Amino acid sequence: MKLVSWNVRGLGKPRIVRRLRDSLRDVNPSVVFLIETKLQSVAMVRVRKKCGFSYGIEVGSRGRSGGLCLAWRGNCQVSLRSFSDRHIDFMISDDGEGRSWRCTGFYGASEEQNRNDSWNLLRQLNDSP
């Protein structure tokens, strides 16, 4: 199973969506976590489907910043644990392997004054069962 995490820095232009689709086709991951999509959830669903991912969890952007997307194909199972505008925490199992593991896609604060909030979120996620 392949998992790709990518800060796409905005998916508002068709050219960038095509580049994303082509890159994901070449790598062929089962799961992809996209950071900084800069799209609302409805628009991100369309992009996710264009990229060949049937399933997903989208966290819309705040204006022109942020936005997360966790997308996966049918060859694995994903169950959501929690999410915010800074993370998506989930369990994943590979249908062929029978193993399951926890993964957290995380988008840390770039502003120094907000970094404590990012660290606190990571601590909370670590402490959750």
Tens digits of residue pLDDT in 6-52: 999 999 999 999 999 999 999 999 999 999 999 999 999 999 999 99
Q: Determine phi and psi for 2, rounding to 5 degrees.
A: -115, 135
Confidence (pLDDT) at 34 = 98
The 10s digit of each residue's pLDDT in 92-109 is 998 777 789 999 999 998
User: Domain map of the chain by residue range?
Assistant: 3-127
Fold of 3-127: Deoxyribonuclease I; Chain A (3.60.10)
The mean pLDDT value for 68-93 works out to 96
Residue of 44, 76, 47 lying closest to 58 (CA atoms)? 44
The band of 129, judged by pLDDT with boundaries at 50, 70 and 90, is confident
Q: Determine phi and psi for 64, rounding to 5 degrees.
A: -105, 25
At 117, list the tokens: 């909030």
Rounded to 5 degrees, what angle do the CA atoms 116, 120, 124 make?
Answer: 175
Confidence (pLDDT) at 105 = 97
Distance CA 23, CA 28 (A): 8
- For residue 19, the surrounding DSSP H or E stretch is helix 14-27
